[in-house]
Structure 1
Amino acid sequence: MLIWERPEPPARSTPSPLDRERIVRAAMRLADADGLEAVSLRKVAAALDAGPMRLYRYVDTKEELLDLMVDAVYGEIRVPEPTAGDWRARVRSLARGTRDAALRHEWFADLLGGRPHLGPAAIGHLEATAAALRSAPGLGDDASALMRSMETVNAYVLGVIRHEIADRRAERASRLTEQQWQAAAGPYLNRVLASGAYPTLAHIVANAAQRDPAAAFDTGLDMLLEGIAAASRSGPGTTTQN
């Protein structure tokens, strides 16, 4: 039986009371401070001043604990009301909330992807995203198109989040800020681009406006949603010929 269907054990009167929420919050604090490698049932038990065997009354494995942690983060993401703004506004709200949550809990992105998460908050987030996209004109009840749109949005959000977090981790590991790294790498890059071998990249570097990560995230998401809208307007099974 999955943990989502397994009732929580009754509370006991002890000097160090336990429940799943306390266990999950303690594990999240460890992960926020030192990454997922810092999370184990033994370390969580020590943080709660409890014996490790007591935790097994609440979670059977570390994998279950990680599932609970992921769902707790999903629970931090505000789900917009179904009537709050148009479909794009609701998708943007969910995507931005996911990004914000991942930047607060960097380990969250490491646990996304692969098999879907089945906790109540995760399923609620998925339902809200699906419902918002279903409201796109022309998408409606085309389940296959809706699934492709959800996969595309999720791939974009996860890809950007992982890229941002990788940049953060690289900066911490190298102890160089983004500006310091650019100053160190700049002369080499300028020589490479001046060779004329990479004209398109040279054009982008010379002329593209620099945006902060949040603005870049929003711009890319808007481009993606415009593509979904255009595809949905063209109707099911329609392809665009060049």
Structure 2
Amino acid sequence: MASIWTRQRTAAPARETLSREQIVKVTMDLLDTEGLAGLSMRKLAARLDSGATSLYWHVQTKDDLIDLVIDEVYGEIDVPDAELAGWRAGVLLLAHNLRAAVLRHGWLPEVIYTRPSIGPNAVRMGSRGLALFTAAGFTGRDIDYSMGAVLSFVFGNANSQAAWQATVRRSGRTVEERNQEILAEVDQLTAMDPMMHESVQRRRVADMDQLQNEAFSYGLDTLLDGLERRLNA
């Protein structure tokens, strides 16, 4: 079946009060609280206090729901104009906003690579992102490769963190509690290796959020440094 973005939209009956916007909002809330495994058309209809028939006027399948909410997430991401922010500051804002969106919606990593992102918000974000790299001076395929490198870094970093947070939530512990347990275990294994022992000790001096934020910023700055040097070479 074609994507919901390429199919002609069927008009709902005049008496129909349920809207696609309502469906997207409730689907997002359901996914954020129960994850992808908790999403079903039956459960969604119950939350909307609506019959399945009304729901199917707007979405035909569960895949339609996923496409809609993915695009809704892309709509949360701010990408500034290069003329106002400068290309590098603009890319930094794009990357941090995208990471924050993935962490707000922990179900996203499970589906983001399983379908093309061709909804209006995704296309708008992509176009504005490409404009930043064009403004920097990249040309041809280097525009696409540069943006792809940044997006791959952001998704790789955020997806692993989101997966870790989901695992911790299922354990019933806090992130800090679970982190300290793991550090204690690793500390025993690395006691005979000075380099690894020092690395573990450095990770004890800050909370997990701080460490992850610093690591993300360090990696992103390093990547942009490399892209800038390549551009100027």
TM-score by length of 2: 0.86
Distance in structure 2 (CA, Å) of the matches to 1:102 and 1:28 = 13
Q: Structure 1: which 4+ aligned runs deviate by more than 4 Å?
A: 206-210
When residues 200 and 152 of structure 1 are mapped into structure 2, their CA distance, relative to the original with a 3 A threshold, is: farther
Q: Does structure 1 residue 150 correspond to structure 2 residue 150? A: no
Distance in structure 2 (CA, Å) of the matches to 1:43 and 1:127 = 35
When residues 148 and 193 of structure 1 are mapped into structure 2, their CA distance, relative to the original with a 3 A threshold, is: same
- Provide, for residues 146-181 of structure 1, a one-character-per-residue CA deviation record: whole Å limited to 9, x for no partner: 222122111111011111112211221222333323
Rg larger for:
1
2:41–2:62: 8 Å Cα contact kept in structure 1?
yes
List gaps (5 residues or longer) in structure 2.
Answer: none
The Cα RMSD (Å) is 2.2
Aligned length in residues = 227
Offset of residue 105 of structure 1: 1.7
When residues 67 and 218 of structure 1 are mapped into structure 2, their CA distance, relative to the original with a 3 A threshold, is: same
Aligned match of 1:13: 15
1:8–1:20: 8 Å Cα contact kept in structure 2?
no
Q: Does structure 1 residue 180 correspond to structure 2 residue 177? A: yes
Q: Show the 5 A alignment for 1:15-94.
A: 17-94=17-94
List gaps (5 residues or longer) in structure 1.
Answer: 235-242
Q: Secondary structure at the match of 1:189?
A: helix
The residue type paired with residue 204 of structure 1 is: S
The residue type paired with residue 163 of structure 1 is: S
- Provide, for residues 43-69 of structure 1, a one-character-per-residue CA deviation record: whole Å limited to 9, x for no partner: 211111111122221112111111011
1:11–1:18: 8 Å Cα contact kept in structure 2?
no
1:11–1:19: 8 Å Cα contact kept in structure 2?
no
When residues 114 and 66 of structure 1 are mapped into structure 2, their CA distance, relative to the original with a 3 A threshold, is: closer
Q: Does structure 1 residue 194 correspond to structure 2 residue 180? A: no
TM-score by length of 1: 0.83
Offset of residue 123 of structure 1: 0.7
Q: Secondary structure at the match of 1:3?
A: coil
The residue type paired with residue 104 of structure 1 is: R
Q: Does structure 1 residue 125 correspond to structure 2 residue 120? A: no
Offset of residue 91 of structure 1: 0.9
1:78–1:97: 8 Å Cα contact kept in structure 2?
yes
When residues 185 and 31 of structure 1 are mapped into structure 2, their CA distance, relative to the original with a 3 A threshold, is: closer
Q: Give aligned-pair identity as a percent.
A: 33
Distance in structure 2 (CA, Å) of the matches to 1:226 and 1:114 = 31
